[in-house]
Amino acid sequence: MNSTTTLLNVVDVEATCWAGSTPPGAVSEIIEIGLTVVDLSARERIAKHRILVRPERSAVSPFCTELTGLTQAEVDSGITFAEACRLLATEHEAGVRPWASWGDYDRKQFLGQCRATGVEHPFSHVHTNAKLVFAEAYGLRRREGMAGALRIAGLPLEGRHHRGEDDAWNIAALVLDLEQRAAWHPTSC
C-alpha cells in the first residue's frame, strides 16, 4: 500500500456564526480549517495544520469569538477561501486522499461555499462521516458530539473545543480508536 492510500485527512472547519439570526447580507463563511493527517497503517496522527481564512461577506461576531476564540483581527490576517482551497489541494493532497469530518456539516459547508464563490471543491469524493461510524461502532441510538464521543471512548479532549485545529486533532483520535476496533470504514459522498 502506498502512502497516499494509508493517509487520511481529518478536517474540521469553523465558520462565522451569530447568537441569533444571520445579519442582513451576511452568510456563514469558513474562517478556520483544521486538518490532521492520520497514518491509518501506523495508527498515529502525524501532522496538525491550521489555515486561517479571511471572510469576504461576513464578520466575526462576539458570539463567534466566544465560541471559537477567533477574532476578526485574527482572521483578517488569513488567506482567501480560494487560496485555502488551492493550499488544501497542493500541500495536503486533498483531492487524492480520503477525508473525514465529524458529521456532515464540514462537507456541506465546503460544497456550499465552493458553489457560491465559484471555487473548485478541493476534496476527494471519499468522505467519511466519523460521527456516524462512531455511533454504529458503539451501538449508540443518538449520535454524540465530538466531546461526548471522546468521553465515551475514554479519550481526553486536547486543546480548545470549537477550534478547528484542535477539533481535527481530537476527531483524528476518535478515528484511530475506531481503526483500533476494526470499525473504521471509509465511504464515498
Q: Enumerate the domain spans of the chain.
A: 3-180
Residue 39 host element (H or E): strand 30-39
Q: Is 155 helix (H, G, I), strand (E, B) or coil?
A: coil
Q: Is 124 exposed, middle or buried (0-12, 13-18, 19+ CB in 10 A)?
A: middle
Q: Output the CA angle 59-61-66, nearest 5 degrees.
A: 140
Q: Which residue has the cell 486538518?
A: 35
HSE, side-chain direction, 13 A CA sphere, residue 85: 18
Q: Of all helices (H) and strands (E), which one includes residue 130?
A: helix 130-137
pLDDT tens for the chain, 189 residues long, are 444 458 999 999 999 999 999 999 999 999 999 999 999 999 999 999 999 999 999 999 999 999 999 999 999 999 999 999 999 999 999 999 999 999 999 999 999 999 999 999 999 999 999 999 999 999 999 999 999 999 999 999 999 999 999 999 999 999 999 999 999 987 765
CATH of domain 3-180: 3.30.420.10
Cα separation of the two ends of the chain: 23
Tell me how far apart the alpha carbons of residues 153 and 138 are, in angstroms, rounded to a whole number.
9
